[in-house]
Amino acid sequence: DIMRNVIRSLATLAYGDPQRSKYARTQLIAALKILQTGDIDESHLMGSWAGAMGQTQFIPTSYQRYAVDMDGNGRRDIWNSIPDALATSANLLRKNGWQAGKTWGYEVTLPAGKLPAGSKTLAQWQALGVVRANGKPFRNLTDKATLKVPDGRGGPAFLMIRNFSVIKAYNNADKYALAVGLLADEIAGGTGLVQDWQRPFTKLSFEERQELQKRLSEHGYYDGKFDGKIGDGSKAAIMAYQAKVGLTQDGYPSLEVLKWLRKQ
């Protein structure tokens, strides 16, 4: 995303977009107050088109509420200071009720039949036949949890406890909070999902994605890094190759495409 001057962006929204004017005026005043504190100067007050700022992408009012000077230099700099950015994010979680030492939720396996809606303790869910997908016990059976099946019963299912809602205080979207939780688990040494998402193709491992990029490069379709990250360049290369060999041009980094490349 292109970084823009926050004052200019918010002023444009405040007086040029009737649907966002109330939000933008509030944020514009907050941004001007941030300049007044001296934490950052205007030339470095950069953010998105809607005013989300710095490494943490905080709007100005969230910055005022949560920003922390972790590196001790007298400025709360979420643009350039990694300690300040991380501490600011942690402060947001803490002030919104993060429960230290607890997880965000659990991947679970569901029993046959319909399950009741609403929040229940993990003990109650367990009594209904809901168990952890990895076979381990729940850590605290008195925790309240809500069942979510974002991909339907054919995909992974989750019991979300309090910390999941706290992550949503950062960005109020289930998919965002779930991505943060799953990534955090893997960083901590977790093995990832037991039940994968429902996909229209067979998923590749990291090494296979690297091989896919390398083989596409050898055939003249790809000129990027062999980093296993499937971005726009990789997808365009896949589609070009699919068109060449008569496959459906969907751009998926699939085992099916890799097998075709291996034959060449």
| CATH code, domain with 156 | 1.10.530.10
Q: What is the pLDDT of residues 159-198, one digit of tens each?
A: 999 999 999 999 999 999 999 999 999 999 988 899 999 9
Rounded CA gap, 23 and 62, in Å? Answer: 13
Do 85 and 120 reside in the same domain of the chain?
no
Length of the chain counted residue by residue: 264
Q: Report the 10 Å Cβ neighbour count for 66.
A: 22
State both tokens at 5: 């001057």
Residues 124 and 174 in one domain: yes
How sure is the predictor about 2, in pLDDT bands with cuts at 50, 70 and 90? confident
Q: How much is the average pLDDT of 75-88?
A: 97
Detail the DSSP E strand segments found in 10-132.
46-47, 105-109, 119-121, 131-132
84: tokens are 């300040």
Q: Are residues 228 and 166 in the same domain?
A: no
Check: CB of residue 108 under 8 Å from CB of residue 131: yes
Burial grade of 233 (CB within 10 A; 0-12, 13-18, 19 or more): middle
Same domain, yes or no: 9 and 66: yes
Q: What is the pLDDT of residue 3?
A: 85
Of 187, 218, 249, which residue is a domain's last?
187
Query: Cα 58 to chain center, whole Å?
Result: 15
Whether residue 79 is predicted with pLDDT greater than 70 in this model: the reply is yes
What is the CATH classification number for the domain harbouring 11? 1.10.8.350
What is d(CA 182, CA 203) in angstroms, rounded to the nearest whole number?
17
- 125 burial via Cβ count (<10 Å: 0-12, 13-18, 19+): buried
pLDDT of residue 217: 97
pLDDT number for residue 264:
85
What pLDDT score was predicted for residue 207? 97
Which helix (H) or strand (E) covers residue 191, if one does?
none
Residue 261, pLDDT above cutoff 90 = yes
Whole-angstrom Cα distance, residue 59 to residue 98?
20
- Where among 41, 63, 95 does a domain terminate? 95
Q: Is 195 within the bounds of a domain?
A: no
Q: For residue 1, which of 51, 67, 64, 61 has the smallest C-alpha distance? A: 51
Instruction: Check residue 191 and give its pLDDT.
Output: 85
**pLDDT, tens digit (0-9, with 9 covering 90-100), for 87-123:** 999 999 999 999 999 999 999 999 999 999 899 999 9
Handedness of CA 220, 203, 138, 105 (dihedral sign): positive
Domain count, the chain: 3
Task: Answer yes or no: do 10 and 88 share one domain.
Answer: yes
Q: Is the dihedral of CA 24, 27, 31, 32 positive or negative?
A: positive
1 has a pLDDT exceeding 60:
no
135 is in which domain, residue-wise? 105-187
Q: Average pLDDT, whole number, for the chain?
A: 95
172 and 214 together in one domain: no
Does residue 100 sit within a domain? no
Confidence of residue 145 (pLDDT cuts 50, 70, 90): very high
Is 194 within a domain? no
pLDDT above 90 covers a percentage of the chain that reads 94
**Is the domain of 89 the same as that of 119?**
no
Of 260, 235, 233, the closest CA to residue 246 belongs to 260
